[in-house]
Amino acid sequence: MSRDEGEALLKRSVEIACEARDTYYERCAEHHLSEGIKNDKILKKRPILVAASVGSYGAYLADGSEYDGNYGDAVTLSTLKEFHRRRVQVLAEAGPDLIAFETIPNKLEAQAFAELLEEDGINIPAWFAFNSKDGVNVVSGDSVIECASIAESCEKAIAVGINCTPPRFIRGLILSIQKVTTKPILIYPNSGETYDPDRKQWVQSTGVSDEDFVSYVSKWREYGASLIGGCCRTTPNTIKAIYKTLKSPADSPSQL
pLDDT band, residue 120 (cuts 50/70/90): confident
- 178 and 71: one domain? yes
User: Is 241 domain-assigned?
Assistant: no
- Per the structure, the complete domain to which residue 13 belongs is given by 1-47
Confidence of residue 44 (pLDDT cuts 50, 70, 90): confident
**Once rounded to an integer, what is the mean pLDDT over residues 167-183?**
98
Q: Is 164 labelled a binding residue?
A: yes
Query: CB-based contacts of 140: which residues, under 8 Å, 6+ apart?
Result: 68, 69, 70, 105, 106, 107
Whether residue 220 lies inside any domain: the answer is no
Does residue 226 sit within a domain?
Answer: no
Q: Are residues 59 and 174 in the same domain?
A: yes
Write the pLDDT tens digit of every residue in 65-101: 998 999 999 999 999 999 999 999 999 999 999 999 9
3-state per-residue secondary structure call for 89-117: HHHHHCCCCEEEEEEECCHHHHHHHHHHH
Taking alpha carbons only, the member of 161, 162, 164, 168 closest to residue 213 is: 168
The Cα–Cα gap between 122 and 141 comes to: 29
- pTM for the structure as a whole: 0.90
Residues 135 and 160 in one domain: yes
In a domain, 255, yes or no: no
Q: What is the pLDDT of residue 248?
A: 64
Going by the DSSP 8-state scheme, the letter that residue 250 receives in this structure is T
pLDDT category at 200 given cuts 50, 70, 90 is confident
Residue 124 pLDDT grade (very low, low, confident, very high; cuts 50, 70, 90): very high
Using the predicted structure, report yes or no on whether residue 156 has a pLDDT greater than 50. Answer: yes
Domain match, 107 and 168 both: yes
Domain count, the chain: 2
pLDDT at 255 (0 to 100): 42
Q: Are residues 137 and 111 in the same domain?
A: yes
Looking at the fold, whether 75 and 105 belong to one and the same domain comes out as yes
Q: Is 231 annotated as a binding residue?
A: yes
